[in-house]
Amino acid sequence: MSGAVEIVLVYQSLLGIYGDRGNAMVLRQRLLQRGIDAVLTEVEPGDPVPAGGAVYLLGGGEDAAQISAVKYIREDGNLFRAIDAGAVLFAVCAGYQIAGKTFTVGERDEVIEGLGLLDVTTRRGTERAVGEILTRWTRPDGSESLITGFENHGGFTSLGPHARPLAFVEVGVGNANDGTEGAVQNRVIGTYPHGPILARNPALADHLLELALGRSLDPLPNAELDALRRERVAAVRRQARR
């Protein structure tokens, strides 16, 4: 697989309870559809994390899994080295929380040190965010795109000065019911929605790939997917008006 673009799915057994593995599959498939050789590498605790990947993915998980994932990632060290070398990290829900500076677990809200890859902190929220979320994301070219997904999180995330929101909420809770959703800092992107989110939002998937490759990609038109997105957006907006 020399020269193949490597997509690395980190600790599926710990951070894979919400179907977020699909994000890795989407990235690989969208490269293959363009004739770009791509490989999906899945690593579990005890396996060395490849240091030469292009995109790394962290998914959703429970409190104990978050603590374990942080421990193993820190001990391994290769995720940090890969990001320093220019790789992209895409972290969803629990993965988003552990990518930050701190997060809390348990009934006592014990503060746990995160990976420090995003200038965000997460604390238990005043309500649990459960349901469809619709946000507005500004692409690098300045155009606006909608992001759809399903959020299910009890943590509320606050952004520090070095991180900026990924998107702004039209329907749903997002980071902390403050109108923002997700965070971006350099080549690290965190977000709450599942779906998996990249299956629902191919433009976001291509954005990650373009960041990793350092170049633009040809579009992959899909009228059926576009129609499904329109239906989903309309349904979420109808539900929100009730």
Enzyme catalytic residues = 93, 194
Going by their DSSP bridges, the two strands 102-105 and 167-171 should be labelled as unpaired
Residue located via tokens 């080295």:
81
Residue 211's nearest CA partner among 177, 184, 238, 171 is 184
**Radius of gyration in angstroms for the set of CA atoms belonging to the chain, rounded to a whole number:** 17
DSSP string, 129-146: EEEEEEEEEE-TTS-EEE
Cα 237 to Cα 120, 133, 149, 172, 178: the distances in Å are 29, 10, 13, 10, 19
